[in-house]
Chain A
Amino acid sequence: MMRTIRRFGVAVVMIWMVTTLTFFLIRLMPGNPIATAYQTLLQQGMTAQQAAVQIHILYDVYPNQPVLTQYFVYLWNLVHGNLGTSIVYTGRPVLGLILAAAPWTLLLVSMGLLISFVIGLLLGVIVAIHRDTWIDNLTSQVASVFHGVPNYITGFIFLYFFTVMWPWFPFGNIYNPSIAVGLTFPFVASVAYHAVLPVAAYVFGAFGGWTLSTKSAAMAVLGDDFMMADKIRGLTSAQRLDHLVNNSILPLFTGFVLSLGFMFGGSVFIESMFSIPGLGYLVQSATTQRDYPVMQATFMLLSAAVILANFAADTLYSRIDPRIRN
């Protein structure tokens, strides 16, 4: 219990560090957007007073305040759930933008992660059982090449072939705008239809890694004494397979949780490529339009999600695997 609390404390401190880092990154970099905007306004003939008011309206900070004061104001707002307002979508609170975008990203990323994990698990176990045969050589080689292929490559190939070459799937957006939003069959079907290609892009970018790590985990389990004991006890091959799979999943668990964060990062590509109004798209459009409040908040939330996932993985792992419980 003490361990869990300590770990949670570390996670909170790390989130605070990321917040601080991004705050100062944006404020203190040479040519930071706020200083640049302030200078531009001055050059346009505004008085320092007017420019400061204008900057306050745009960025929610007073440019003449010391940076530390700005920082504490920012933290204070943050703790109260105020993430500022967007510059591009004038006046819309950042939190609202993020909450509207998050479900799509969660849906696509978790689907992609689950499907690639299941495929990788199956392939990995098969390969481990048929070690050093042509099945192993072929699958392992393919998996190593696909492992680490960024999803913008797989996504782009799918996009080109299945929406341009052969227009089997719709291009852009995540549902047909002419269908009313709601938990109705046409809407869900439309979402599923639009989700096929993005999810496939995630899956093809990720299954190779899962195959390789399942393979090494399963090979380690196959060498364990209890697998030999299973054989001697005369368990059927189905029962032995069950033991093999269950024990191979364990070491993959931490990686599974951690890769959530990685895939959230990758959503930047998939979502801007397929024009899906999720978090990745929000990050990307905010970046190209220099919408700093949105960038800062989404970046911070993504990092916080990864750090918390990390914490959850650590805590849950010791509960799942009785061997490392102390």
Chain B
Amino acid sequence: MTSVPAVERPRVVHHGLGRIFFSKPIRVLGLSIILLYILMALLGPVIFPPQIALVANPAKVFQGPTWADPLGTDFQGVSVLAEVVLGARGVLMVGIAAAFFIVVLGVLVGLVAGFVGGLVDTVLMRVTDLFIAVPQFPLLLLVASILNTSSPWMLVLMLSLTSWGALARSVRSQVLSLRERDFVEAARGLGLGTRNIAFKVILPNMLSYVAMNFMISITGAIYAEVGLLFLGVTPFNPDNWGVMLRQAAGTSGALYTTKSMFYVLAPLLAILLLQSGIIFVLGALDEVFNPRLRKGGARA
């Protein structure tokens, strides 16, 4: 009984944070990518004031990269870089907000179902099954076309209501296995109430899982959001990657010329790069929450 890594753990979580992120170059890369997108979302309109940057210029339609427009220009002669940077805010806000609600809803339903059990569990899980079974995209299309709204909050609502099911189911199964563990038994023995056990004992043990799901949900929500705009079912503000894609595929005629390469690829690559950044950081998150995964183990 000499080694006591369990006591060591809480300290390591905070002190190791920087070391974990900087231990692998790919994580630094991922972190920088995410920071870049956050900067784009925050400072976009400062760097490219929309009144100036988004003005059409028929003299430079579909130009290749130049010093003034590093990603070339689109079908109206607007700088593609400015469009991508200005699109970041709307896309990220909807993605993050939707991911937040997905995680809250999924965790809440999963926790309650797994912890309360009985009839509540059965009913909640049937509803969850229904939401998992219904194909997300056609459902989104249906709801979007009925609501026909341009409010980003309605978009957030639609995205989160259609994609919390899978998380709820796996949270429930984790709760079912965690509640049989000794430390939960001990908490019960100490006389803690159900709510305390659920939120203060069991929930912290799933935090890594929840955090990783939050990150993945962001990309999922962004995909769905951009996809909906791409299909043109939701009327939404013009500076968005999905709208860029829609115009690239449709009215702009970009698909009839080889000169439009940068315009067509820019929104796609913007999404792929963000996805890569998030994936690269996920491994680090896993290690932050699971000290056992770290190389060299707990420092005894």
Contacts and interface: CB of A to CB of B under 8 A. Distances in A.
Interface of A: 10, 14, 17-18, 22, 25-26, 29, 31-33, 141, 144-145, 148-150, 152-153, 156-157, 159-160, 163-165, 171, 261-262, 264-266, 268-269, 272-273, 283-284, 287-288, 290, 295-296, 298-299, 302-303, 306-307, 310
A299 B264 contact: no
Contacts of B133: 14, 18, 261, 303, 306-307, 310
Given A164-B255, A303-B135, A145 B279 contact: yes
B240 to A, nearest CB: 15
Contacts of A302: 135, 138
B203 interface: no
A33 B129 CA distance: 29
A148 B220 contact: yes
B130 A14 contact: yes
B167 interface: no
Nearest to A299: B138
Given A14-B133, A268-B231, A148 B138 contact: no
B135 A157 contact: no
A290 B279 CA distance: 38
A296 B141 CA distance: 11
Interface of B is mostly: helix
Contacts, number: 116
Q: Chain B contact residues (Cβ within 8 angstroms of A): what range?
A: 35 or more
Given A156-B245, A163-B255, A306-B134, 14 more contacts: A14-B126, A25-B143, A29-B147, A31-B146, A141-B279, A148-B223, A148-B275, A157-B265, A164-B256, A164-B257, A164-B258, A287-B142, A287-B144, A295-B142
Nearest to A171: B255
A17 B227 contact: no
A164 B255 CA distance: 6
Contacts of B148: 31
A39 B276 CA distance: 49
A290 B145 CA distance: 7
Contacts of A296: 142
Interface in B188-226: 216, 219-220, 223
B276 A268 contact: no
Contacts of A156: 245, 248-249, 264, 268
Nearest to B129: A14
A311 to B, nearest CB: 10
B265 A287 contact: no
B282 to A, nearest CB: 8
A85 B268 CA distance: 38
B153 interface: no
B281 to A, nearest CB: 11
Given A17-B130, A149-B275, A153-B268, A287 B145 contact: yes
Contacts of A148: 216, 219-220, 223, 275
B26 A298 contact: no
Closest 6 CB pairs of A and B: A265-B135, A265-B137, A150-B223, A29-B146, A287-B145, A287-B141
Contacts of A150: 223, 227
Contacts of A26: 142, 146
B26 to A, nearest CB: 7
A149 B227 contact: no
Contact of A149 (B26, B126, B145, B272): B272
B141 A284 contact: yes
B255 A18 contact: no
A269 B268 CA distance: 14
B261 A160 contact: yes
Q: Which residue among B26, B146, B230 has the maximum number of chain A CB atoms within 10 Å of its CB?
A: B146
B212 to A, nearest CB: 12
Interface string B99-139: 00000000000000000000000000010011001111111
11 contacts: A26-B142, A145-B272, A164-B255, A262-B135, A265-B135, A268-B231, A269-B231, A273-B249, A299-B138, A306-B133, A310-B133
